[in-house]
């Protein structure tokens, strides 16, 4: 399964290594070096997975300064994306060279899929990405099946059999997938 992956890593050598591993596996990969450019990318293009460093500069300018003022983090980026997109947000994996049990616990409790310490093993990364893509496929399939079951339950409660009633139901089904407001008029009973 092929996925769209965003790598957010300010150390260019690390980003290049991750990119090469994922592209070798056939994934479409983009890289960002700071939280600001990652937010922009996430707001304008769809991604399945985000691999982000825990410690990030807020912007490219901050990364260029001596010491790279670290005023943003991967967990904040995750929360921002989740709050903006909701359940369709990409799956996040936090990467760090400075991992602690506390930061790992906080990340996983927040909803991050995994927390990995650097250096990242290429085989482990490939397996992780495959597992995430399968997890996302199963979640999407489950959501679709639940929607189909819910729609079927609604249909079972309807008792009308006339041609106008059935055509009204078909029209409502067609409109249900959109944001359109519909008005149903007619006699009651």
**pLDDT value, residue 169:** 80
User: Pairing between strand 91-96 and 49-53?
Assistant: parallel
pLDDT at 71: 54
Quick one: CA dihedral 16, 20, 21, 25, positive or negative?
positive
Q: What is the chain's mean pLDDT, rounded?
A: 86
State what percent of residues in the chain have pLDDT above 70: 91
Whether 70 shows a pLDDT value over 70: the answer reads no
Would you place residue 134 in the very low, low, confident or very high pLDDT band (cuts 50, 70, 90)? very high
Over residues 16-43, the mean pLDDT reads 94
Residue 73 has pLDDT above 90, yes or no: no
Tell me, what's the pLDDT at 6?
96
Residue 186 confidence (pLDDT): 75
The contacts of residue 28 (CB under 8 Å, 6+ apart) are 2, 3, 4, 5
- C-alpha span between 17 and 36 (Å, rounded): 22
Mean pLDDT of 82-105: 88
Average pLDDT estimate for 86-111? 89
Tokens of residue 65, six digits:
């300064």
Place 103 in a pLDDT band, splitting at 50, 70 and 90.
Answer: confident
- pLDDT tens for residues 118-128? 889 999 999 99
Confidence (pTM): 0.74
Nearest-angstrom CA–CA distance, 98 and 111 = 20
Q: Per-residue confidence at 46, pLDDT binned at 50, 70, 90?
A: very high
pLDDT of residue 62 exceeding 70: no
Q: Which of 105, 76, 72 is nearest to 92 (CA)?
A: 76
Q: Given a cut of 50, is residue 66 above it in pLDDT?
A: no
pLDDT band at 45 (very low <50, low <70, confident <90, very high): very high
* Per-residue burial over 90-120, b = 16 or more CB atoms within 10 Å of its CB, e = otherwise: bbbbbbbeebeeebbeebeeeebbbbbebeb
| Cα–Cα dist 184/189, whole Å | 14
Q: Tokens 């939280």 sit at which residue?
A: 35
CB 90 within 8 A of CB 48: yes
Residue 181 has what pLDDT?
81
Is 182 in contact with 170 (CB distance < 8 Å)? no
């Amino acid at each position: 399964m092929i996925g769209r992956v965003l790598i957010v890593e300010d150390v260019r050598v690390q980003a290049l290594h991750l990119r090469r591993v994922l592209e070798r596996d056939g994934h479409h990969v983009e890289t960002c070096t700071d939280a600001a450019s990652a937010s922009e990318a996430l707001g304008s293009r769809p991604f399945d997975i985000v691999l982000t460093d825990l410690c990030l500069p807020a912007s490219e300018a901050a990364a260029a300064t001596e010491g790279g003022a670290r005023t943003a983090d991967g967990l904040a980026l995750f929360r921002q994306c989740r709050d903006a997109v909701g359940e369709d947000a990409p799956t996040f994996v936090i990467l760090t060279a400075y991992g602690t049990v506390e930061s790992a616990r906080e990340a996983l409790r927040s909803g991050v899929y995994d927390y990995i310490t650097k250096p990242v093993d290429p085989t482990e990364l490939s397996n992780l990405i495959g597992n995430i893509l399968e997890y996302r496929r199963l979640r999407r399939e489950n959501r679709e099946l639940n929607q189909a079951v819910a729609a079927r339950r609604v249909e079972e409660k309807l008792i009308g059999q006339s041609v106008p009633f059935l055509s009204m139901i078909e029209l409502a089904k067609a409109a249900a997938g959109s944001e359109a407001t519909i008005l149903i008029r007619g006699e009651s009973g």
